[in-house]
Amino acid sequence: MNQTTRLNQLRTRAARISDLTGTASLLSWDQETLMPRGGTESRAHQLGTLAALIHEHYTNPALGDLLRELRDELGAGNEADETLIVRAMLRQHEQRTKIPSEFVVKRTELSTRAREAWKVARKADDFSQFAPFLTEQFQLARELAGHLGYDSNPYDALLDQFEPGTSFEWIDTRFRTVKPEFQELIRRIAEAQAADGSHAQAARAVHRQVAPKRQLDFSRSMAEAVGFDFSHGRMDSSAHPFTSGPSFLDVRFTTRVQENYFPSCLFAVIHEAGHGMHSQHLRPELYRFPFRYGLALAESQSRFYENIIGRSRAYWNRYYGDMQKTVPEFADVSPETWYRAINAVHPSLIRVEADEVTYGMHIMLRFEIEDAVINGRLKVEDLPGAWNDAMQNYLGVRPESDANGVLQDIHWSQGAIGYFPDYLLGSMLSSQLWDAVQQAIPNATEMVRRGDLGEINRWMADTVQGEGGKFTFAEMAEHATGAEFSSDPYLRYLKEKYSEIYHLA
């Protein structure tokens, strides 16, 4: 059999896995948006069956033989599509062959049931209703780590699932570098706020009632403005914003509405639109290859559009007038007040509504808690108190309810233990990518000011988004920017932006 025949066989096998994965994604999307609560049990079985089929295809010995033959023929050390596709799929094959099919089904069915239990517990503000499901999720996470293998910390195996090549030590080293920088910037901003009451006035100016339809209509227009293609996508509502979809031709994201705080919906939409564009811009020749990019890379795209673009002065120079027409509740709010309000720094309870400066503290808190639970230093039943203590220690605020504390995120209900660090890694990379954009497109800021993101989006599509899961996070940083991944651009971005807003010396 020649190489061309082998590659064609791989495409056929890969397409089956991709189609099954897309079908499971569609059922999961339906569960969050349309499925009645009474459908939970049947949906758990449906997703479990699909998970078993996907696992069966991935672990087929014939696929492993094919991938190893192609690996040996194609070699390494190059960025050719075929080489890196084979590398990524072989990694999946080798990891999945370590995991029993029964375990995959059990974990999938648990996640389906746990998501619904989380929704009920969050609405009731009662952690005890969710605790049994979460206890089992963490137990299965430990078992997964055992199946996959690790050197000293089981959390390493979980982190590597979400962003290949990362580990507790690798992430912790970078987080310990930025933590004192965040703390110092938060301290300096707090001093500036205490000395100048206009900052608090600006922050309060955006807390006003806006009808849900008006919020959703304008937010949708902002997804279009940054480049999301609604001819291949849609926007819906759910308990927690997310992006999914069966393929790059059908990408779906959700948001949620707070009637008295419009930025919550608006920036969730821009964030998810960034995720959606990452999927939509996959090169067609990579379609139906089931190798997903890591989630730190994914978050670099969502955080880039939400913050680097969406919270910039340049962006609102173009769109604030449009917003005032569509959302007349802000007719008396000046563009400068709006800009200061959407970038107001204040320690808060909810991660998805946190400002850029304090956001990292929310992530580090979750990172440390996950490590503690996985390694048995913290029990699930003690999580609410530990969470509240950590919030007090990290940000000086203390949740008064489970809903605003340990129950605020959907991730653990889905078994996504090890995902949270990728939000901060992605935020760091977003600034490094922005530096690279400005190197390639010297008038990029002026383009944002005009509302013309076409060239910026093409650069991002050609350099990052179109490559799918070919590269690891560290490889993509170097591929896209010509430099190793570094937190320095992110720290510089935060210091420059917020020194200007708060007139820091």
Mean pLDDT split into 10-residue runs, the chain, 505 residues: 93 98 98 97 98 98 98 89 95 98 98 98 98 99 98 98 96 98 97 91 92 98 99 97 96 97 98 98 93 91 99 99 97 97 96 97 98 99 98 97 98 98 98 99 99 99 96 96 98 98 92
User: Is 480 within 8 Å of 433 (Cβ atoms)?
Assistant: yes
**Distance (Å, whole) CA 450 – CA 225:** 11
- What was the pLDDT predicted at 291? 76
β-pairing, 250-255 with 243-247? Answer: antiparallel
Q: Helix, strand, or coil here: 219?
A: helix
Pull the structure tokens for residue 238: 């759910």
- Is the entire prediction scored with pTM above 0.95? yes
For residue 215, the model assigns a pLDDT of: 98
Tell which residue, 77, 91, 76, 80, has the closest CA to residue 292.
91
pLDDT digits (tens, 9 = 90+) for 92-144: 999 999 999 999 999 999 999 999 999 999 999 999 999 999 999 999 999 99
DSSP string, 177-215: HHHHHHHHHHHHHHHHHHH-THHHHHHHTT-----HHHH
Cβ distance 113 to 43 under 8 Å?
A: no
Ranges of each domain in the chain = 3-150
d(CA 368, CA 393): 13
Say how far apart CA 396 and CA 91 lie, in whole Å: 43
Gap between the Cα atoms of 463 and 459, Å rounded? 6
296 half-sphere exposure, CB direction, 13 A CA radius = 26
Q: Which residue has the tokens 């430099």?
A: 483
Q: What is the pLDDT of residues 158-179, one digit of tens each?
A: 999 999 999 999 999 999 999 9
Of 275, 311, 307, 403, give the one whose Cα is nearest residue 350: 403
Interatomic CA distance for residues 379 and 386, integer angstroms: 9
Residue with tokens 């082998």: 6
Cα distance between residue 489 and residue 38, in whole Å: 48
Residues annotated as catalytic are 272
- What pLDDT is recorded for position 290? 87
Q: Are 308 and 497 in contact (CB under 8 A)?
A: no
C-alpha 434/C-alpha 181 separation (Å) is: 20
Secondary structure letter of residue 76 according to DSSP: S
For residue 233, give Cα distances in angstroms to 47, 268, 291, 336, 487. 23, 16, 21, 33, 33
Q: Which two tokens stand for residue 362?
A: 């929310």
- Reduce the DSSP state of residue 251 to 3 states and report it: strand
